[in-house]
Amino acid sequence: MAKMKIKAKEKNGIVKVKAMFTSLMADKEEAIKKGISPSYIRYIVAKVKDAVVYEVTMSGFMSENPLVKFEFKGNKGDQLTFTTIDNDNKTETDTQKIK
């Protein structure tokens, strides 16, 4: 399952986000080479107050420990919630207060 490191800072009404997800991102072919079972994040969504501010569908072809950066209009003090779903449909959620 993916561990998350999230940084979100607001300046002049724009929130800049950097989020790193710890994951092997090993598709079937890569997993066979490494002798492990396939493990990768296939979906990431970020929300503030139930509004989607970032959404991406991924595959095992992404690099290990993917880093995403994006911006959106937001406010200091709001909660940014990330949810990931992996190839085994396991879900993990983490929140970070916007600074």
Q: In the predicted model, what is the mean pLDDT of residues 59-87?
A: 89
Cα 69 from Cα 83, distance rounded (Å): 15
- Mean pLDDT across the chain, nearest whole number? 88
Give the pLDDT confidence score for residue 71 in this predicted structure: 96
Superfamily of domain 3-97: Immunoglobulins (2.60.40.10)
Provide the residue ranges of all domains of the chain, joining segments of one domain with +: 3-97
Question: How does pLDDT run across 4-17, given as a tens digit for each residue?
Answer: 899 999 999 999 99
* Higher local confidence (pLDDT), 23 or 41: 41
